[in-house]
Amino acid sequence: MSNKKCILIISGHLMMAELLTAFLEQQFEDFTVIRVSSICDARLMLHQTDLILILIDKLGQVGSLISTLNEIKEISPLTKCLVLSEVANAYLVAQALRAGACCFLSKMCSSGEIVKAVEAAIHGGQHLSPDAKQVQVQDFSHTQNEKLHDALSPREFDVFIMIAQGMSLKTISGNLSIASSTVAVHKHNIMKKIGFKSSALIARYCIEHRLLGDAG
């Protein structure tokens, strides 16, 4: 690999990744833009060069995102990580930043915001898109009692969101590639931690706290 600096896009969203690759190649001509579909494909490059990574996440995959960020930081602590997500909610933003991301954008952001974030990462700074900043401010204004979901692990939060979306245990199992019995255990633990007795209450809570991408 040449000494030219790289922007590495890790994404399973082929069409979005292709559009983002073309855009970044045009905006950052001094960088090579490389696209891979998983952290497995990125491991060798992480060892070989200092990369700026853009991770495209989706709602209901917090556990996978955090796991990927943790692995990147373990392999290459100095690598800058930028997250582009389908949705920005307070839990996801906080977890991503805590796991080492320096920038967080939602898919609703403008192309100019993407440029600002990449430039910030290049120069060792941080950047949040306006909606990510907004949910952080809203989250800060809530009392601890109102943020019941903070008690959940990233994987429990994934299940929590999917329950709120009305998915069955079987569907959640397929989406997360885990056994239905494991999903049932997560659901039991979620109910115990937050004190809710029904999926309807979970859905209402997620809507009120703007945790669902299509809500509010």
Pairing relation of β-strands 127-128 and 101-106?
parallel
Region 190-212: mean pLDDT is: 87
Q: How confident is the model at residue 1 (pLDDT cuts 50, 70, 90)?
A: very low
Q: Calculate what percentage of the chain has a pLDDT beyond 90.
A: 30
pLDDT band at 172 (very low <50, low <70, confident <90, very high): very high
Is it the case that residue 146 has pLDDT exceeding 80?
no
Q: What is the pLDDT of residue 4?
A: 66
The model's confidence at residue 143, banded by pLDDT at 50, 70 and 90, is very low
Distance CA 98, CA 41 (A): 24
Closest to 164 (Cα-Cα) out of 106, 108, 211, 102: 211
Indicate whether 70 pLDDT > 50.
yes
Q: In what order do the strands lie in the sheet with 32-36?
A: 32-36, 6-10, 51-57, 80-85, 101-106, 127-128
Q: Which residue has the higher pLDDT, 137 or 67?
A: 67
Q: How confident is the model at residue 24 (pLDDT cuts 50, 70, 90)?
A: very high
Average pLDDT over residues 176-197: 91
Q: What integer pLDDT is reported at residue 71 of this predicted model? A: 87
Question: What is the spatial distance between Cα 100 and Cα 73, in angstroms, rounded to a whole number?
Answer: 7
Token pair for 100: 């080492």
Query: Between 119 and 50, whose confidence is greater?
Result: 119
Nearest-angstrom CA–CA distance, 58 and 70:
17
User: What integer is the mean pLDDT of 32-44?
Assistant: 86
Q: Which domains does the chain have, with CATH numbers?
A: 6-138 (3.40.50.2300), 144-208 (1.10.10.10)
Least-confidence region, from 2-16, 134-148, 151-165? 134-148
Average pLDDT over every residue of 12-33: 89
